[in-house]
Amino acid sequence: RPTSAFAMAIALAAGGMLTATAIEAPAYAQRDKKKKKDKEEQAEYSKEFLAAYQPISEIQKQDAPDYAQAKSLIPAMLATVKSDDEKNAAGGMMFNLANDMGDDELQLQGIAMMIESGKLDAATQGQLSFAAYQTYREMNDVANARASLENAIAANYSFNATMTDGSTQQFGPDRMRWLISDLYFDEGNYAEGLSYLTGLIEARKAEGGVVPETWVRQGLAQAYENNLTRDAVKYAAYLVESYPSDVAWGDAVIITLNGNNYENPEVLDLLRLSRRTGVYNDQRVLSEYVEVLDPRRYPGEVVAVIDEGFASGVADKTDPYLIETRREAAGRISGDKADLPNLARDARSASADVKTLVVAGDTFLSYDQPAEAEEFYAKALTKAGVETPMVLTRLGIAQYDQGKYAEAIETFGKVEGARRDLANLWAIHAAQKGAM
């Protein structure tokens, strides 16, 4: 794949030719003196430096410059460099000459000298650092390309980048951090690149800042395409947390499903989230939901899910499996509902065991009676032998269904083990519902 999805045209302020006159106020170091209260300090150069510098400048001004001759004079000029002003001017001369000649090594040497001089303002230092990154990148010198980007970031450099489609985008430190991750990925260092991005994302979340979408999508794409399932699950959650959409939620459920060795109970509770988000990637997801529900166990939920699928257009109304499953489930609902009062009575008795309480919670949850389900799940959690992660998950769902989003988030946060990923998605969605 291409190294970068954009093409940038950088017009460096230092790109203008440095002449003997310009040496007193180089183009990249000019200031608007009218805005200064004090007169800008004049740069000073020794006679020896000027004597070595000016012949190179004169060659550059010619209609047909002899660049090879100009370059041959560089060592003599460098031998006269003593002050920071001279270092800055010599670096600028080398940079300009390198641009004319297409000499990458000379360009990088010139940039290094200008930065080392300490005479550049932050914007110009960032600009030159980014130019160095581009050159190092073309040379496949990844370590120095990364270091140059870090220098540009430290200078808080930003500019308008021209994209491949002709549009322009503001390109600042956050996009440069994305480029650093790209350097890892281009070398095949996927784990390191994802670790770098994860550190950035977690730090930005901790400080309450906005996580750039480019970071999240970069991480998700790299993790998914390279079969790093645990990272893919993490980045799918980052995406729905920061940039939720129907597509993002549909993908997050499937990525989480595929990234874990879930048994039917876990699959069921994850696909229940699909129902609450109103998003199924396609009919196969809904059909799997129906299958793990089982019309003999949760007939009411089976009918509700199928009917919602038919109404939304997600499910094909002529699908034989869904038609037959719905028919079987519908035939069981009446008898099932008739037994609900007895089930509730047994669950509320002092002698109710954990199995009775969980069955009661599951049944009432499946019939969209979350208050009763919450009651029975909460009681089940006080009993020995309870399957805590599952019951906590379903307690959280019951609270979610009642609009108790803060309580649901707290409950989902207690889920540990294999269910942690699915509970995290539920908590994210509960937070978004609570913010509406």
Task: Say which range, 11-25, 204-218, 384-398, has the weakest mean pLDDT.
Answer: 11-25
Q: Which residues, in sequence order, are CB contacts of 309 under 8 Å at separation 6+?
A: 280, 283, 286, 315, 322
Domain assignments of the chain as residue spans, ordered by start: 13-28+45-174, 188-243, 282-332
Q: pTM (2 decimals)?
A: 0.84
Q: Mean pLDDT over all residues of the chain?
A: 90
SS3 180: helix
Contact 369, 398 (CB under 8 A): no
- Kindly tell me if the per-residue pLDDT of 336 is higher than 50: yes
pLDDT of residue 22: 34
pLDDT of residue 300: 98
pLDDT of residue 345: 98
| Residue owning tokens 């510098």 | 53
pLDDT confidence tier of residue 3, bands split at 50, 70 and 90: very low
pLDDT of residue 29: 36
Mean pLDDT of the 384-401 span: 98
Instruction: Report the C-alpha dihedral over residues 222, 225, 230, 233, rounded to 10 degrees.
Output: 80
pLDDT of residue 342: 98
Q: Identify the sign of the CA torsion 400, 406, 407, 411.
A: positive
pLDDT confidence tier of residue 164, bands split at 50, 70 and 90: confident
Mean pLDDT of the 105-110 span: 96
pLDDT confidence tier of residue 263, bands split at 50, 70 and 90: very high
Task: Say which range, 235-244, 263-272, 273-282, has the weakest mean pLDDT.
Answer: 273-282
pLDDT of residue 165: 86
Q: Summarize pLDDT for 139-151 with one digit per residue, the tens.
A: 999 999 999 999 9
Instruction: Please state which architecture CATH assigns to domain 13-28+45-174.
Output: Alpha Horseshoe (1.25)
Q: Summarize pLDDT for 127-136 with one digit per residue, the tens.
A: 999 999 999 9
- Kindly tell me if the per-residue pLDDT of 406 is higher than 50: yes
Contact 238, 391 (CB under 8 A): no
Residue in 237, 235, 266, 247 with CA at minimum distance from that of residue 425: 237
What's phi and psi for 215, nearest 5 deg? -65, -45
pLDDT of residue 42: 74
pLDDT confidence tier of residue 41, bands split at 50, 70 and 90: low
Mean pLDDT of the 105-116 span: 96
Which tokens sit at 91? 């670096």
Q: Which residues, in sequence order, are CB contacts of 151 under 8 Å at separation 6+?
A: 115, 125, 126, 129, 132
pLDDT confidence tier of residue 68, bands split at 50, 70 and 90: very high
| Residue owning tokens 């080392």 | 116
Residue 296: Cβ within 10 Å count:
11
pLDDT of residue 162: 84
Mean pLDDT of the 244-257 span: 96
Percent of the chain with pLDDT over 90: 86
Which residues are paired to 159 by β-bridges?
Answer: 171
- Kindly tell me if the per-residue pLDDT of 419 is higher than 90: yes
Q: First-to-last CA distance in the chain?
A: 40
Kindly write down the DSSP assignment for every residue of 193-227, as one continuous string: HHHHHHHHHHHHHHTT-PPPHHHHHHHHHHHHHTT
Q: Summarize pLDDT for 283-307 with one digit per residue, the tens.
A: 999 999 999 999 999 999 999 999 9
Contact 51, 77 (CB under 8 A): no
SS3 177: helix
